[in-house]
Structure 1
């Protein structure tokens, strides 16, 4: 009998991660000779350790199909790293116990670089614990910092949202700047990479409109130089839009702002760059300003998703399964750009070792020489990723997002205590 498949979500969710889930589920069910039943873990790898396994056969097929246009993580996500199997094998013994109890032979983990590390550790269970398991990563992150892929599913939709709201907000500021706000300041996500901040530049309809300064995570913040550029922009245009990455660094490499520290650096909650920068601008220039933080909204805005992003998210989920059917193991599907105009792409694959815990920053040639804008090469890279609209169905004036029932399979293993419990 074919082994069962288990899908799980990890890390910060996106507007299209559920489209990848849909791709995995559809592809598993399309190969009944290779796979048994497709399950989902509740709350990522934590759900596996807790033996919280969702029975997808109990879900309405229409609800599962609607995952393609539903934001958030339908099955629950988590931020949790498996420990060192050599020092503490308990977690891995528990994974084997749960996999064996539910006859699971395939594990598909949907997340970013840290999640690929978890998938890699699970993939090594066979040699560590003697249990045959095929583990595959499914890429996702709005930060666009996964290596070895042209783009990360989730980024295109977040980029489209940011560029849209910056264009709209700039028109508001332009309307009022002679007697009111002169600076509009927006903080976007991006721990080490400025891709989302760069996407704001797509809001510019022609050179210099709206006037904009971008503070990238990759460029150390020079207070004096920034204030000089801000003054020049306001003198020339009357107002300025400033977009700042949450991961903005001081010249010594420390974070410009931290909302909440954590003993695991990757889990440190960033935020606060906008209000701190706003205080600086008020103090040094006296200009009237308004600041905003899009925060979770930028990764949840499915109503404004990029059609390209949705298609790619579904495609990598499907490719993860089809790669297994073709005999591949321990890999992550990647998007490969063939041409930019017109935008053509295909799906390839790389070993999990190639992407686990590896972050890709923006290349310097994508950032303008002054450090406050993007180059034409960056614009040409970004434009195709936000192309097209894939609107969800609306009902009573609001988007319709069904929820899964989440019926759990009966537990077959003893309780297991986890450090977060």
Structure 2
């Protein structure tokens, strides 16, 4: 995607005619923007051409709002895999609607987008401050979740029947694409329904969003696994600790875990190809020199080494082969053939990590994402996702956020830092 493709224009439902009931805090102006580029050199071409550099709309409460809080209902839906902090976001949205704006009808749709299809029989929950009071202490989602698309027409039918003016969709790439289709169907009907996405992906792989909630908690929990792997590796002759972490298309969790725990010696991610002979050769050298090794591999790494599993899951994702067990078995077989004793311990903490409650930093991020989602919806924005860019909360069009996955740049600072921390070869092929 080039800079010429960047259009950060946010759709609006119409004129904001009602004064905001919020009386405290700072209002954001409709013209306030956050620069997309943070390096001056990247802005020079625009300045030289007399053009405005690309910028994102600043999030926050507006002085005037589109919806009358006394007459609308709102809905919340959570989709896709679990992630630390979903309940925190639900709580933040409910409390902001209730206390900041006075909205009294808030529906929680159960089992993802299935809950928006009336004929499937998942009655929505009535969400009140009392219902959500303690849910931030829990992992998972009180609304439950599901994967897979539903008919946008059926979902909008139900939204209209319930009198919902704002629908908050908490989820990742697939969820946000579904939210875009709901917004498109509402617009086709000429219905003033705001659809606001809140980015939930433990892999931190949504474009134009600096960090998504749950990511920091995931890295903190992953460190417990790498600590255990290192302890086991040090406790045996030619000990190898192998840890598989989440990361289907983007290896951010693996990369940051390697930085958090500098005892990781190899970090394997989807963005940087490696070969089995290259890894085994380097691993032999490592064991000869140091007598132990810790390997972190993202679930999407090395898929070209595996037999194709075929098919896609309910969210449309290609089904992955298990790179963790593949490497475990391949490493054991290699050293058995060479007659060299090793002691390998394999750890896969994926479901333990994603089911944890959010840590304090993620809890604060969830609160602010939830509040800014509510502000955007009440101000009549739609077909957008609340973002975080250059340390400011922003509005991002759903189409732009889902056009391609955010990935590690193999030539960028992050991967360079991983190589410096692990000491692994730049090219393991």
For normalisation by structure 2, the TM-score amounts to 0.74
Matches within 5 A, 1:14-413: 14-32=83-101, 35-49=103-117, 50=120, 52-57=122-127, 61-82=129-150, 91-174=151-234, 176-178=235-237, 182-205=239-262, 210-250=263-303, 254=304, 256=306, 261-262=311-312, 266-270=316-320, 272-286=322-336, 287-302=342-357, 305-337=358-390, 345-356=391-402, 358-364=404-410, 365-366=412-413, 368=415, 373-374=418-419
Residues 84 and 354 in structure 2, CA contact (< 8 A), matched pair in contact too: yes
Assess, with a 3 A threshold, how the Cα gap between structure 1 residues 317 and 215 changes in structure 2: closer, same or farther. same
CA contact (8 A) 2:268 2:298 kept: yes
Residues 168-223 of structure 1 show CA distances to partners (whole Å, capped at 9, x for unaligned) of 3312321x223xx6111111111111111112213435xxxx25111111111212
Change (3 A) 1:168 1:263: closer
How many residue pairs get aligned? The number is 344
* Structure 1 vs Structure 2 CA RMSD: 2.4
Q: Displacement of 1:258 after TM fit?
A: 6.7
How much does 1:234 deviate? 1.3
Aligned to 2:134, what secondary structure does the other structure show? Answer: helix
**Could you tell me how far 1:262 is from its partner in structure 2?**
2.4
Rate the CA distance shift 1:319–1:65 in 2: closer, same or farther, 3 A: same
Measured after TM superposition, the shift of residue 111 of structure 1 is: 0.4
Displacement after TM superposition at 1:36 (Å)? 4.5
- Determine if contact 1:51/1:98 at 8 Å carries over to the other structure: no
Gaps of 5+ in 2: 1-69, 337-341, 422-429
Give CA deviations for 1:216-242 in whole Å, capped at 9, x if unaligned. 111112122211221122122211011
Q: Does the Cα contact within 8 Å between 1:227 and 1:281 map onto a contact in 2? A: yes
Structure 1 unaligned residues grouped into runs of 5+: 83-90, 338-344, 377-421
**In 2: Cα distance, 1:73 partner to 1:268 partner:** 25
Determine the C-alpha separation between the residues in 2 that align with 1:260 and 1:7: 34
Within 2, Cα distance between the matches of 1:120 and 1:238? Answer: 53
Asked whether the equivalents of residues 366 and 375 of structure 1 are also in contact (C-alpha less than 8 Å), the reply is: no
Equivalent in the alignment of 1:11: 80
* Displacement of 1:283: 1.7
Q: Distance in 2 between matches of 1:263 and 1:116?
A: 17
Residue 154 of structure 1 deviates from its aligned partner by 1.1
Contact 1:213 1:373 in 2 (8 A): no
Question: Using a 3 Å threshold, how does the CA distance of structure 1 residues 74 and 238 change in structure 2: closer, same or farther?
Answer: same
Secondary structure at 1:348's aligned position in 2? strand
CA contact (8 A) 2:110 2:125 kept: no
SS of corresponding position for 2:382? coil
Conserved? CA contact 1:184–1:291, under 8 Å: yes
Q: Distance in 1 between matches of 2:169 and 2:415?
A: 36
Cα separation, partners in 2 of 1:93 and 1:153, compared to 1, 3 Å: same
8 Å contact kept, 2:229–2:347: no
TM-score using structure 1 length: 0.75
Measure the CA separation in 1 of the matches of 2:130 and 2:154. 34
CA contact (8 A) 1:214 1:243 kept: yes
The separation in 2 between residues aligned to 1:145 and 1:166, in whole angstroms, is 22
State how far apart, in whole Å, the 2-side matches of 1:323 and 1:74 are.
24
The alpha-carbon deviation at position 56 of structure 1 amounts to 2.2
CA contact (8 A) 1:201 1:373 kept: yes
Q: C-alpha distance in 1, partners of 2:136/2:268?
A: 34
